[in-house]
Structure 1
Amino acid sequence: MPMDTSINQSSAETVFDVDQEQLARIYAKAFLSATSSQDQAALVEELDSLVSDVLDKFPEFDFRLTSTVMSHEEREALIDNVLGSRASSPVVNLLKTLSQNGRQILVRPVIAAIHKLVGEMRGEHEVRVYIPSELSTELTDGLRQALQSRLGVNAEFHFHVKPELIGGMVVQVGDTVFDGSVRTTLERARRQMVESAVAAIESRPDKFMLDK
Protein backbone atom coordinates (compact mmCIF):
# COMPACT_ATOMS: atom_id res chain seq x y z
CA MET A 1 0.00 0.00 0.00
CA PRO A 2 2.06 2.99 -1.21
CA MET A 3 1.99 6.24 0.66
CA ASP A 4 -0.15 8.93 -1.02
CA THR A 5 2.17 11.04 -3.15
CA SER A 6 -0.08 14.06 -2.65
CA ILE A 7 0.89 14.25 1.01
CA ASN A 8 2.21 17.69 1.86
CA GLN A 9 5.66 17.87 3.43
CA SER A 10 6.28 20.46 6.13
CA SER A 11 9.17 20.96 8.55
CA ALA A 12 7.40 23.23 10.99
CA GLU A 13 3.73 22.52 11.60
CA THR A 14 1.15 19.80 11.90
CA VAL A 15 -2.47 19.89 13.00
CA PHE A 16 -1.39 18.97 16.51
CA ASP A 17 0.30 20.98 19.19
CA VAL A 18 3.90 20.02 18.51
CA ASP A 19 5.32 23.47 19.18
CA GLN A 20 6.89 22.37 22.47
CA GLU A 21 8.57 19.37 20.89
CA GLN A 22 9.86 21.40 17.94
CA LEU A 23 11.22 24.03 20.31
CA ALA A 24 12.86 21.37 22.44
CA ARG A 25 14.59 19.98 19.33
CA ILE A 26 15.99 23.45 18.55
CA TYR A 27 17.60 23.65 21.98
CA ALA A 28 18.75 20.03 21.71
CA LYS A 29 20.42 20.71 18.37
CA ALA A 30 22.14 23.80 19.75
CA PHE A 31 23.36 21.81 22.74
CA LEU A 32 24.78 19.01 20.60
CA SER A 33 26.33 21.37 18.06
CA ALA A 34 28.22 23.08 20.88
CA THR A 35 29.73 19.79 22.08
CA SER A 36 32.19 17.44 20.45
CA SER A 37 31.03 14.03 19.32
CA GLN A 38 33.47 12.46 21.80
CA ASP A 39 31.76 14.19 24.71
CA GLN A 40 28.17 13.56 23.67
CA ALA A 41 27.83 10.07 25.15
CA ALA A 42 29.06 11.26 28.54
CA LEU A 43 26.82 14.33 28.44
CA VAL A 44 23.74 12.27 27.58
CA GLU A 45 24.54 10.01 30.52
CA GLU A 46 24.92 13.07 32.74
CA LEU A 47 21.57 14.47 31.59
CA ASP A 48 19.91 11.13 32.31
CA SER A 49 21.41 11.25 35.79
CA LEU A 50 20.09 14.79 36.22
CA VAL A 51 16.58 13.48 35.61
CA SER A 52 16.74 10.19 37.53
CA ASP A 53 19.02 11.17 40.42
CA VAL A 54 18.05 14.80 40.92
CA LEU A 55 14.74 15.88 39.38
CA ASP A 56 12.89 12.63 40.10
CA LYS A 57 14.25 12.27 43.64
CA PHE A 58 13.96 15.91 44.68
CA PRO A 59 10.57 17.17 43.44
CA GLU A 60 10.93 20.51 45.25
CA PHE A 61 14.10 21.28 43.29
CA ASP A 62 12.38 20.09 40.10
CA PHE A 63 9.45 22.44 40.80
CA ARG A 64 11.67 25.43 41.54
CA LEU A 65 13.88 24.75 38.53
CA THR A 66 11.06 24.44 36.01
CA SER A 67 8.28 26.68 37.35
CA THR A 68 7.68 30.39 36.81
CA VAL A 69 7.52 31.08 40.54
CA MET A 70 11.15 32.20 40.67
CA SER A 71 12.89 34.89 38.65
CA HIS A 72 15.71 33.96 36.28
CA GLU A 73 18.26 35.42 38.71
CA GLU A 74 16.91 33.30 41.57
CA ARG A 75 16.81 30.21 39.38
CA GLU A 76 20.36 30.82 38.15
CA ALA A 77 21.58 31.09 41.75
CA LEU A 78 19.73 27.85 42.54
CA ILE A 79 21.44 26.09 39.62
CA ASP A 80 24.84 27.32 40.78
CA ASN A 81 24.25 26.34 44.40
CA VAL A 82 22.87 22.87 43.69
CA LEU A 83 24.65 21.84 40.48
CA GLY A 84 27.51 24.27 40.01
CA SER A 85 30.17 21.99 41.48
CA ARG A 86 28.52 18.72 40.45
CA ALA A 87 27.45 19.18 36.83
CA SER A 88 29.55 19.91 33.75
CA SER A 89 29.62 23.36 32.16
CA PRO A 90 27.53 22.32 29.11
CA VAL A 91 24.74 20.98 31.32
CA VAL A 92 24.77 24.01 33.63
CA ASN A 93 24.80 26.36 30.64
CA LEU A 94 21.87 24.51 29.07
CA LEU A 95 19.78 24.93 32.23
CA LYS A 96 20.72 28.59 32.53
CA THR A 97 19.94 29.26 28.87
CA LEU A 98 16.51 27.70 29.19
CA SER A 99 15.89 29.77 32.31
CA GLN A 100 17.09 33.00 30.73
CA ASN A 101 14.77 32.49 27.74
CA GLY A 102 11.79 31.61 29.91
CA ARG A 103 11.85 28.01 28.66
CA GLN A 104 12.70 26.26 31.92
CA ILE A 105 9.62 24.03 31.56
CA LEU A 106 11.41 22.41 28.60
CA VAL A 107 14.18 20.80 30.66
CA ARG A 108 12.81 17.26 30.33
CA PRO A 109 11.58 17.68 26.70
CA VAL A 110 15.01 18.99 25.68
CA ILE A 111 16.75 16.03 27.30
CA ALA A 112 14.34 13.67 25.51
CA ALA A 113 15.01 15.51 22.23
CA ILE A 114 18.76 15.17 22.75
CA HIS A 115 18.28 11.41 23.10
CA LYS A 116 16.30 11.28 19.86
CA LEU A 117 18.82 13.35 17.94
CA VAL A 118 21.72 11.18 19.09
CA GLY A 119 19.72 8.13 18.03
CA GLU A 120 19.03 9.67 14.62
CA MET A 121 22.76 10.27 14.18
CA ARG A 122 23.15 6.53 14.64
CA GLY A 123 20.48 5.83 12.05
CA GLU A 124 17.74 5.17 14.60
CA HIS A 125 14.47 6.98 13.93
CA GLU A 126 11.11 7.34 15.63
CA VAL A 127 8.09 7.63 13.36
CA ARG A 128 4.80 8.89 14.73
CA VAL A 129 1.71 8.06 12.72
CA TYR A 130 -1.48 9.97 13.54
CA ILE A 131 -4.69 8.35 12.31
CA PRO A 132 -8.38 9.26 12.83
CA SER A 133 -9.43 5.90 14.26
CA GLU A 134 -8.04 2.60 15.49
CA LEU A 135 -6.77 0.19 12.83
CA SER A 136 -6.78 -3.57 12.91
CA THR A 137 -3.50 -5.32 13.58
CA GLU A 138 -3.36 -6.41 9.94
CA LEU A 139 -3.83 -2.85 8.65
CA THR A 140 -1.36 -1.44 11.18
CA ASP A 141 1.29 -3.96 10.14
CA GLY A 142 0.66 -3.22 6.47
CA LEU A 143 0.88 0.51 7.02
CA ARG A 144 4.07 0.10 9.01
CA GLN A 145 5.67 -1.96 6.24
CA ALA A 146 4.58 0.51 3.57
CA LEU A 147 5.93 3.48 5.48
CA GLN A 148 9.16 1.65 6.29
CA SER A 149 9.68 1.01 2.60
CA ARG A 150 8.70 4.53 1.58
CA LEU A 151 10.75 6.37 4.18
CA GLY A 152 13.78 4.14 3.76
CA VAL A 153 14.90 4.35 7.39
CA ASN A 154 15.15 1.98 10.29
CA ALA A 155 12.43 3.23 12.58
CA GLU A 156 10.37 2.57 15.65
CA PHE A 157 6.72 3.27 14.84
CA HIS A 158 4.17 4.77 17.22
CA PHE A 159 0.52 5.06 16.23
CA HIS A 160 -1.72 7.74 17.77
CA VAL A 161 -5.48 8.14 17.27
CA LYS A 162 -6.62 11.71 16.51
CA PRO A 163 -10.33 11.77 15.55
CA GLU A 164 -10.10 15.43 14.47
CA LEU A 165 -8.16 14.33 11.38
CA ILE A 166 -11.46 13.08 9.87
CA GLY A 167 -9.55 10.88 7.42
CA GLY A 168 -6.09 10.32 5.99
CA MET A 169 -3.08 10.47 8.26
CA VAL A 170 -0.16 12.55 9.44
CA VAL A 171 3.34 11.05 9.62
CA GLN A 172 6.07 12.74 11.65
CA VAL A 173 9.73 11.77 11.25
CA GLY A 174 11.99 13.98 13.32
CA ASP A 175 11.44 17.58 12.22
CA THR A 176 9.57 16.58 9.08
CA VAL A 177 5.80 16.21 8.95
CA PHE A 178 3.95 14.56 6.06
CA ASP A 179 0.40 15.83 6.35
CA GLY A 180 -2.17 13.92 4.31
CA SER A 181 -5.18 14.43 6.56
CA VAL A 182 -8.63 15.31 5.25
CA ARG A 183 -8.82 18.14 7.78
CA THR A 184 -5.69 19.77 6.37
CA THR A 185 -6.87 19.19 2.79
CA LEU A 186 -10.17 20.95 3.55
CA GLU A 187 -8.40 23.81 5.28
CA ARG A 188 -5.99 24.15 2.37
CA ALA A 189 -8.92 24.26 -0.09
CA ARG A 190 -10.67 26.89 2.04
CA ARG A 191 -7.55 29.07 2.13
CA GLN A 192 -7.11 28.75 -1.63
CA MET A 193 -10.70 29.88 -2.23
CA VAL A 194 -10.26 32.89 0.05
CA GLU A 195 -6.94 33.80 -1.55
CA SER A 196 -8.45 33.49 -5.05
CA ALA A 197 -11.34 35.74 -4.09
CA VAL A 198 -9.02 38.35 -2.58
CA ALA A 199 -6.76 38.24 -5.64
CA ALA A 200 -9.76 38.73 -7.95
CA ILE A 201 -10.99 41.72 -5.94
CA GLU A 202 -7.55 43.30 -5.80
CA SER A 203 -6.96 42.85 -9.54
CA ARG A 204 -10.33 44.38 -10.57
CA PRO A 205 -11.57 46.50 -7.67
CA ASP A 206 -13.98 48.38 -9.97
CA LYS A 207 -15.98 45.19 -10.58
CA PHE A 208 -16.67 44.70 -6.91
CA MET A 209 -17.47 48.27 -5.86
CA LEU A 210 -21.07 48.86 -4.89
CA ASP A 211 -22.99 51.65 -6.55
CA LYS A 212 -23.35 54.61 -4.23
Structure 2
Amino acid sequence: MSNLRIARRYAEAVMDLAAERDQMDRLGRDLELLQQAIKESREFVAFLKSPVISKEKKQAVLAELFRSRVSDETISFLNLLTAKSREDVLPETIEEFFRLRDERQGIVGVEVRAASELTPDQRQGIQRRFEAITQKKIRIAFVADARVCGGFVAKVGDTVYDGSVRRQLELLRERFVEEIGSSRSVN
Protein backbone atom coordinates (compact mmCIF):
# COMPACT_ATOMS: atom_id res chain seq x y z
CA MET A 1 0.00 0.00 0.00
CA SER A 2 1.35 3.44 -0.90
CA ASN A 3 2.33 5.93 1.79
CA LEU A 4 -0.36 8.33 0.58
CA ARG A 5 -3.09 5.71 1.05
CA ILE A 6 -1.74 4.83 4.49
CA ALA A 7 -1.53 8.52 5.43
CA ARG A 8 -5.10 9.10 4.21
CA ARG A 9 -6.40 6.26 6.39
CA TYR A 10 -4.69 7.62 9.49
CA ALA A 11 -5.81 11.17 8.67
CA GLU A 12 -9.43 10.05 8.25
CA ALA A 13 -9.33 8.08 11.50
CA VAL A 14 -7.85 10.90 13.58
CA MET A 15 -10.22 13.39 11.95
CA ASP A 16 -13.26 11.26 12.74
CA LEU A 17 -12.13 10.90 16.34
CA ALA A 18 -11.52 14.65 16.68
CA ALA A 19 -14.93 15.43 15.16
CA GLU A 20 -16.61 12.95 17.49
CA ARG A 21 -14.95 14.60 20.51
CA ASP A 22 -15.44 18.15 19.17
CA GLN A 23 -11.64 18.63 19.12
CA MET A 24 -11.13 19.46 15.43
CA ASP A 25 -9.73 22.96 16.07
CA ARG A 26 -7.38 21.72 18.78
CA LEU A 27 -6.14 18.86 16.60
CA GLY A 28 -5.60 21.30 13.73
CA ARG A 29 -3.42 23.52 15.95
CA ASP A 30 -1.50 20.49 17.22
CA LEU A 31 -0.84 19.22 13.71
CA GLU A 32 0.23 22.70 12.58
CA LEU A 33 2.82 22.65 15.37
CA LEU A 34 4.06 19.21 14.30
CA GLN A 35 4.11 20.28 10.66
CA GLN A 36 6.22 23.31 11.59
CA ALA A 37 8.68 21.06 13.44
CA ILE A 38 8.90 18.83 10.38
CA LYS A 39 9.51 21.78 8.05
CA GLU A 40 12.11 23.40 10.29
CA SER A 41 14.16 20.38 11.33
CA ARG A 42 15.70 17.81 9.03
CA GLU A 43 16.99 16.09 12.16
CA PHE A 44 13.41 15.63 13.39
CA VAL A 45 12.38 14.06 10.08
CA ALA A 46 15.47 11.81 10.13
CA PHE A 47 14.55 10.80 13.70
CA LEU A 48 11.00 9.89 12.61
CA LYS A 49 12.23 7.82 9.68
CA SER A 50 15.13 6.11 11.44
CA PRO A 51 14.75 2.33 11.62
CA VAL A 52 17.59 2.18 14.17
CA ILE A 53 15.76 4.03 16.95
CA SER A 54 13.38 1.79 18.88
CA LYS A 55 9.64 2.43 19.04
CA GLU A 56 9.85 2.95 22.78
CA LYS A 57 12.63 5.53 22.43
CA LYS A 58 10.69 7.39 19.71
CA GLN A 59 7.55 7.44 21.86
CA ALA A 60 9.50 8.76 24.85
CA VAL A 61 11.22 11.48 22.80
CA LEU A 62 7.98 12.56 21.09
CA ALA A 63 6.22 12.75 24.47
CA GLU A 64 9.09 14.77 25.94
CA LEU A 65 9.16 17.17 22.98
CA PHE A 66 5.43 17.76 22.63
CA ARG A 67 3.54 16.78 25.82
CA SER A 68 3.30 20.36 27.12
CA ARG A 69 2.40 21.75 23.70
CA VAL A 70 -0.21 19.34 22.27
CA SER A 71 -3.26 17.49 23.55
CA ASP A 72 -3.17 14.02 25.08
CA GLU A 73 -5.12 12.78 22.03
CA THR A 74 -2.33 14.00 19.75
CA ILE A 75 0.30 12.26 21.90
CA SER A 76 -1.83 9.08 21.72
CA PHE A 77 -1.99 9.46 17.95
CA LEU A 78 1.80 9.82 17.74
CA ASN A 79 2.19 6.75 19.97
CA LEU A 80 -0.15 4.77 17.70
CA LEU A 81 1.81 5.74 14.58
CA THR A 82 5.04 4.74 16.33
CA ALA A 83 3.64 1.46 17.66
CA LYS A 84 2.55 0.54 14.13
CA SER A 85 5.94 1.63 12.67
CA ARG A 86 4.20 4.31 10.63
CA GLU A 87 5.81 7.44 12.07
CA ASP A 88 7.51 7.91 8.70
CA VAL A 89 4.12 8.84 7.17
CA LEU A 90 3.45 11.62 9.72
CA PRO A 91 4.23 14.44 7.23
CA GLU A 92 1.85 13.00 4.63
CA THR A 93 -0.77 12.25 7.29
CA ILE A 94 -0.72 15.88 8.42
CA GLU A 95 -1.06 17.10 4.82
CA GLU A 96 -3.96 14.70 4.24
CA PHE A 97 -5.65 15.82 7.47
CA PHE A 98 -5.62 19.45 6.35
CA ARG A 99 -6.76 18.55 2.82
CA LEU A 100 -9.65 16.43 4.15
CA ARG A 101 -10.62 19.04 6.75
CA ASP A 102 -10.75 21.74 4.10
CA GLU A 103 -12.75 19.46 1.81
CA ARG A 104 -15.29 18.73 4.55
CA GLN A 105 -15.59 22.43 5.33
CA GLY A 106 -15.96 23.40 1.66
CA ILE A 107 -12.64 25.24 1.59
CA VAL A 108 -10.55 25.17 -1.57
CA GLY A 109 -6.77 25.22 -1.35
CA VAL A 110 -4.95 27.62 -3.68
CA GLU A 111 -1.20 27.95 -4.15
CA VAL A 112 0.02 31.16 -5.75
CA ARG A 113 3.61 31.41 -6.99
CA ALA A 114 5.06 34.81 -7.85
CA ALA A 115 8.57 35.97 -8.69
CA SER A 116 8.73 38.07 -5.53
CA GLU A 117 6.80 38.68 -2.34
CA LEU A 118 3.36 40.15 -3.06
CA THR A 119 2.00 43.20 -1.25
CA PRO A 120 -0.96 42.78 1.12
CA ASP A 121 -3.21 44.55 -1.43
CA GLN A 122 -2.09 42.19 -4.19
CA ARG A 123 -2.70 39.19 -1.92
CA GLN A 124 -6.20 40.39 -1.04
CA GLY A 125 -7.02 41.03 -4.69
CA ILE A 126 -5.87 37.57 -5.72
CA GLN A 127 -7.78 35.98 -2.84
CA ARG A 128 -11.01 37.81 -3.78
CA ARG A 129 -10.58 36.83 -7.42
CA PHE A 130 -10.21 33.13 -6.62
CA GLU A 131 -13.11 33.19 -4.15
CA ALA A 132 -15.23 34.61 -6.99
CA ILE A 133 -13.94 32.01 -9.47
CA THR A 134 -14.49 29.03 -7.16
CA GLN A 135 -17.57 30.40 -5.38
CA LYS A 136 -16.07 28.95 -2.20
CA LYS A 137 -13.99 30.03 0.73
CA ILE A 138 -10.33 29.49 -0.04
CA ARG A 139 -7.15 28.79 1.91
CA ILE A 140 -4.36 30.44 -0.01
CA ALA A 141 -0.61 29.93 0.22
CA PHE A 142 1.69 32.47 -1.38
CA VAL A 143 5.15 31.30 -2.46
CA ALA A 144 8.00 33.42 -3.82
CA ASP A 145 9.46 31.55 -6.81
CA ALA A 146 12.19 33.17 -8.89
CA ARG A 147 11.36 30.85 -11.80
CA VAL A 148 8.10 32.75 -12.37
CA CYS A 149 8.81 35.51 -14.86
CA GLY A 150 6.53 38.36 -13.75
CA GLY A 151 2.88 37.96 -12.80
CA PHE A 152 1.86 34.79 -10.96
CA VAL A 153 0.92 31.16 -11.41
CA ALA A 154 -1.91 29.76 -9.28
CA LYS A 155 -2.90 26.15 -8.73
CA VAL A 156 -6.43 25.33 -7.62
CA GLY A 157 -6.79 21.57 -7.27
CA ASP A 158 -5.74 20.18 -10.64
CA THR A 159 -6.29 23.47 -12.49
CA VAL A 160 -3.43 25.88 -13.17
CA TYR A 161 -4.06 29.57 -13.84
CA ASP A 162 -0.97 30.98 -15.49
CA GLY A 163 -0.88 34.77 -15.39
CA SER A 164 2.87 34.98 -15.77
CA VAL A 165 4.59 37.23 -18.29
CA ARG A 166 6.25 34.11 -19.74
CA ARG A 167 2.85 32.56 -20.49
CA GLN A 168 1.54 35.79 -22.00
CA LEU A 169 4.57 35.90 -24.31
CA GLU A 170 3.99 32.25 -25.29
CA LEU A 171 0.37 33.02 -26.15
CA LEU A 172 1.45 36.04 -28.18
CA ARG A 173 4.01 33.93 -30.06
CA GLU A 174 1.38 31.25 -30.79
CA ARG A 175 -1.00 33.89 -32.13
CA PHE A 176 1.75 35.33 -34.41
CA VAL A 177 2.57 31.85 -35.70
CA GLU A 178 -1.12 31.20 -36.43
CA GLU A 179 -1.53 34.55 -38.18
CA ILE A 180 1.61 34.03 -40.26
CA GLY A 181 0.44 30.52 -41.15
CA SER A 182 -3.05 31.67 -42.09
CA SER A 183 -1.72 34.63 -44.15
CA ARG A 184 0.57 32.27 -46.09
CA SER A 185 -2.31 29.91 -46.88
CA VAL A 186 -4.39 32.84 -48.22
CA ASN A 187 -1.63 33.92 -50.63
**Equivalent residue, structure 2, for 1:178:** 160
* Amino acid in the other structure paired with 2:45: T
**Equivalent residue, structure 2, for 1:92:** 79
1:150 aligns with 2:145: no
- 1:167–1:183: 8 Å Cα contact kept in structure 2? yes
**Equivalent residue, structure 2, for 1:118:** 101
- 2:127–2:138: 8 Å Cα contact kept in structure 1? no
**Equivalent residue, structure 2, for 1:198:** none
Paired residues in the alignment total 151
- 1:8-23 paired onto structure 2 within 5 Å: none
Gap change, CA 1:126 and 1:69, over 3 Å in 2: closer
Name stretches of at least 5 consecutive residues in structure 1 with no aligned partner.
Answer: 1-22, 57-61, 190-212
Q: Give how far 1:34 is off.
A: 4.2
**Equivalent residue, structure 1, for 2:180:** none
**Equivalent residue, structure 1, for 2:177:** none
Name stretches of at least 5 consecutive residues in structure 2 with no aligned partner.
Answer: 64-71, 172-187
Secondary structure (helix, strand or coil) at the match of 1:165 reads: coil
Q: Deviation per CA, 1:124-144, whole angstroms, max 9, x where unpaired?
A: 344221122455555544333
Q: Measure, in 2, the Cα distance between the counterparts of 1:116 and 1:147.
A: 18
Q: Measure, in 2, the Cα distance between the counterparts of 1:162 and 1:32.
A: 30
**Equivalent residue, structure 1, for 2:18:** 40
- 1:47–1:91: 8 Å Cα contact kept in structure 2? no
Return 158-167 or 134-143, whichever deviates more: 134-143
Gap change, CA 1:177 and 1:79, over 3 Å in 2: farther
Q: Measure, in 1, the Cα distance between the counterparts of 2:49 and 2:162.
A: 43
Q: TM-score, normalised by structure 2?
A: 0.51
Q: Equivalent pairs: percent with the same residue?
A: 17
| Structure possessing the higher relative contact order (Cα contacts under 8 Å, 6 or more residues apart) | 1
- 1:134–1:161: 8 Å Cα contact kept in structure 2? yes
**Equivalent residue for 1:160, pick from 131, 136, 143:** 143
Q: Measure, in 2, the Cα distance between the counterparts of 1:137 and 1:82.
A: 40
